[in-house]
Amino acid sequence: MSNKVFVLDTKKLPLEPCSPTIAKKLLKADKAAVFRQYPFTIILKKVVKKQEVKQCQLKLDPGSQVTGMAIVQENKLVWAAELTHRGQQIKDDLESRRAIRRGRRNRKTRYRQPRFLNRTREKAWLAPSLEHRVLTTMTWVNRLIKFCPISSIATELVKFDCHKLQQPEISGKEYQQGTLYQYEVREYLLEKWNRTCVYCNVSNTPLEVEHIVPKSKGGSNRISNLTLACVPCNQAKSNRDIKDFLAEKPSLLHRILSQAKAPLKDATAVNSTRWKLFNSLKETGLPVTTGTGGQTKFNRTQQQLEKSHYLDAACVGNTPNLEILTARPLLIKCAGHGQRQVIHVNKHGFPRLNKTGKPVRKSAYIKQVKGFQTGDIVKAVVSKGKKVGSYLGKVAVRSSGSFNIKTLKETVQGISYKYCISIHRKDGYVYGF
């Protein structure tokens, strides 16, 4: 079961998605052409009669590291994808740049003094690593609206409420004892402890919420005092203190106590961007509905679906009797558009090579070679020489015209540009299934 294929008419307006079998027949009969490889989209060559198009709903499960996307048509999951963000990489790059900049200013070299009093931030400013999550998600939302007849959008507005997780006593009894509250807490604990028992590391078994410091000995219901344990381990620990229970396993004790006090980093990232994403979705002009993370898990549990990002997205909001028509989501990974640094430097900071691999003084910066750019997905059919064969993958260009192609299994070097055919232009993402 794979994703359905997006279909465009002769005016590039979205039609109802079709199955891969029908798309293959249209392409073979020369009634359609490939419009885009990722997501796979075809465009009709002849005008079709106007017909009623069944509308679809786009559902999102925003995450700190991965965002799930699903398109549902009449309670049927017809297309799914998982978008992996690069927020942590952006944060690391900014910290590295800051360290280099401060080191340069501290050295006895001629450089302007730091200017910090003329920097202002807008009211709804977000850190670049957080802004990236919103912008990347909106890029794909707008892209899917062009390829599919989407009539509404559903998204998780709040995945975890940090205040209610840290201090449940500040909330009303109705929320704490409601149907969805336990789903909120358990969902966070399952993600925090990797869905395994913290004592024996067993998985795929019923897990119980475990108090690190027993309530009978002064322990609280704070999220930092909760963990997960299987039934045998939970019964073996009983109301003993964790230091006594793991006295003979000091390394395991240290790991559990350290992880229990870890900050709510992922939850904070989602909470920081939820309103920015929600307001951006409203700017599309489509109706936007919201749901909570607890409601999503409740829907997924009721329908006995496995845990995954795209299934979480499909279960956002109201999802009665969801039928899964695809089990191979499109895996999208943010790779960026390359670095702005034109000249590579050595460990001492002196110019070494430019991006084409030539010495700085002999060659200027070249972005495209023979119509190809590093990151393009190409297909090369080599008919003669030592590299005879067919290769499909990402290309790394060289100014000599001899390229490298990175396939799923290996990197093939020395492929001439004459054998290469562009399949998908570089757009800052890496795709897979």
Residue 197, token pair as written in the block: 């028992």
Angstrom distance (rounded) from CA 379 to CA 238: 61
| Residue 125, pLDDT score | 86
Contact, 188 vs 267, CB < 8 A? yes
Neighbours of 415 (CB within 10 A): 22
| Residue 108, pLDDT score | 65
Rounded to 10 degrees, the C-alpha dihedral 133/136/138/144 comes to -140
User: For the structural domain made of 162-260, what CATH number should be given?
Assistant: 1.10.30
Specify the residue for token string 């350290």: 258
> Is residue 172 classed exposed, middle or buried when 0-12, 13-18 and 19+ CB atoms within 10 A define those classes?
exposed
Angstrom distance (rounded) from CA 114 to CA 101: 10
Contact, 394 vs 410, CB < 8 A? no
Where exactly does CATH 2.30.30 map onto the chain?
343-432
Find, among 280, 178, 185, the residue nearest to 224 by Cα: 185
Contact, 329 vs 80, CB < 8 A? yes
Angstrom distance (rounded) from CA 75 to CA 341: 48
Phi, psi of 333 (to 5 degrees): -120, 125
Domain 343-432 in CATH 2.30.30 = yes
pLDDT per residue of the chain (433 residues) written in tens, 0 to 9: 688 999 999 999 999 999 999 999 999 999 999 999 899 999 999 988 877 788 899 999 998 889 999 999 988 999 999 999 998 889 888 888 888 777 777 776 666 666 666 777 888 888 898 999 999 999 999 999 999 999 999 998 865 555 455 555 545 544 444 444 555 677 778 877 888 888 888 888 888 888 888 888 888 888 788 888 898 888 888 888 888 888 888 888 888 888 777 666 777 777 788 888 999 999 999 999 988 877 888 888 888 888 889 999 999 888 878 888 888 899 999 988 876 666 666 777 677 655 555 554 444 455 788 889 888 889 999 988 888 999 988 898 888 889 999 887 889 999 999 999 988 888 888 888 7
Where exactly does CATH 1.10.30 map onto the chain?
162-260
| CA dist list (Å): 154 to 17, 60, 201, 288, 319 | 19, 6, 36, 6, 11
Contact, 305 vs 311, CB < 8 A? yes
Contact, 3 vs 78, CB < 8 A? yes
pTM (two decimals): 0.73
Angstrom distance (rounded) from CA 190 to CA 244: 25
Contact, 107 vs 88, CB < 8 A? no
